[in-house]
Every structure is written in C-alpha cells, then in structure tokens.
Amino acid sequence: MNCYAVFGNPIAHSISPRLHNLAICGLGLDDFYGRVCLQDSSQLTNVFNKLSLKGANITIPFKEVAFAKCDELDQNAKKIGSVNTIVKKENKLYGFNTDAPGFMMAISDFGKVQNALVIGAGGTSKAISYILQSNGIDVDVVNRSQNRADEFKDYNFFSFDEYEPKSYDLVVNTTPAGLVNNELPMQETTLNSVFSNSKFAFDVIYGRQTPFLNLAKQKNLQVKDGADMLLFQAVLAFNLFYDNSFDLDVIKGYMKEAFTL
C-alpha cells in the first residue's frame, strides 16, 4: 500500500484528499491519501520520510520550501521556482509544478488566446505568467505594489500607478481579492476599461462568484473560476504518483465527483 498526503498550513479546508481518494477508489488501488498540517517548514522532508510517503502535494505556504528540498526538478518547477507535487523514487525526491499545466488545461475551453493580463504577482501569478508566455502568449503583469517587480523581469510588469488599460483576449485574477470579501483585485474604473475590450476572464478563486467574475460577466466576457485549475493540477499530480500509467480523462472522471458531493 502506498500513502500520499497534502502538506500545508492551514490545511483542513483542502479538497485534495477527497480528489485523490476518489481516484484511488475508482481505479481500485489499495492506497491512501491524507493531509498534514505542517508547523515548521524545515521539517517537510523529515515528516514526508517519517510517514513513508510515496508522494505529496504541497500548498500554501510551502511551495518554495518544497522547491528547495527536492533532489530533481521538472522544467516547469525550475522556471517557476515552486513545487506543488513531490514523488519519491529510489530514495530521491522529484519535484514538479502541475499548477501551470493545470491552468493551461483549464483555459482550453476558451478560444484562441494571443495576449493576456495577469493581475497579481505572487506564486500563482508566477506559474500562470510563465506557462502563458511559454505557450507563445504575450503577457502583461499588473500588481498593486512594486514589491515583486524583480521577480517579473521577463514580463511587461506594471504597478497599478503605471498601468494603462489595453484590450486582451484573457484577463486572469491571481490575487486573493474577493475570496472572503467583496473586493475587486484592482480599481473598478481600470478593470471596466480592460473588460470593455477583452474576451475571457479567469479567476483562480473557486467555489464563489467573485466581484471580479461578476464584473466580467456584466461586460459580456466568457468567465471561468479556478475549480478546473484545481482539478487539473490534481489529475496531473495523481498521474505523476503512478508513473503516468492512467488515462487523464479517467482520473478526471473520478475526481470530478468531489465537486458535487
């Protein structure tokens, strides 16, 4: 029996155990996926080894720590600087970032995207900006502060003060604005101008109609929340745990049930 877990703090709210255990049950595997509320980031690999885990998912605030602790990294993780999936093989820890390809799979319902505005400059923005750009999409990144400008040297980076609205195929909110309040991620007038000339809006927040998505809908954009991104990063992570031996659609079919329970 192989054991897996998601590490984070807080972690009680995570639906990863439900997603992964539904796929484990559906595929008739004799394995189990749990959750670990890690208090001390320096203990990540100790706890992983103590629990004899075969693999893990890593969420806020440990993705950068996981990146530093892995022996080998995939291309996405290397470029983004964070790891959300760890697989142990022959005593080595392999680190992957499935948030980025999970996001690309989630926006595949939208039509052709040639340029995008990414709002926010945190870890999720880094993953999304990187994967958009590496798929040939022009990316502008806008953030409320200049704090993280250095980490976005490879992109057109603007603080709110510098930013002039443009038209985009895709506008993505990667900030937590609207998660537990009614805030928009940037000034309403600026967002209104952007939405007036854009096609698709994506919010990484899921399970909630955020003010960002509501405003986009009013402006007749096609909208999507972050549920599919969460689902697809889990589908990809699950298959990495099992050496890519399953069909992604089959895993997805089992995991999708987690959103209807």
Considering only 44-52, 107-115, 130-138, 174-182, which stretch makes contact with ligand NDP by CB under 6 A? 174-182
- Judged by CB under 6 A, the residue of 70, 121, 132, 191 near ligand NDP is 121
- Judged by CB under 6 A, the residue of 120, 157, 195, 238 near ligand NDP is 120
Asked if 149 interacts with ligand NDP (CB under 6 A), we say no
Considering only 6-14, 27-35, 40-48, 200-208, which stretch makes contact with ligand NDP by CB under 6 A? 200-208
- Judged by CB under 6 A, the residue of 26, 34, 81, 176 near ligand NDP is 176
Catalytic residue list contains 63: yes
- Judged by CB under 6 A, the residue of 11, 179, 240, 250 near ligand NDP is 179
- Judged by CB under 6 A, the residue of 8, 55, 101, 185 near ligand NDP is 185
Give the separation between CA 213 and CA 188, rounded to whole angstroms.
12
Query: Which of 161, 243 has the CB closer to ligand NDP?
Result: 161
Cβ-closest position to ligand NDP: 122
| Residues taking part in catalysis | 63
Which residue numbers belong to the known binding site for NADP(+)?
204, 226
Which residue numbers belong to the known binding site?
14-16, 59, 84, 99, 204, 206, 226, 233
Binding site for ligand NDP (CB under 6 A): 60, 99, 120-125, 143-145, 147-148, 174-177, 179, 183, 185, 204-206, 226, 229-230, 233
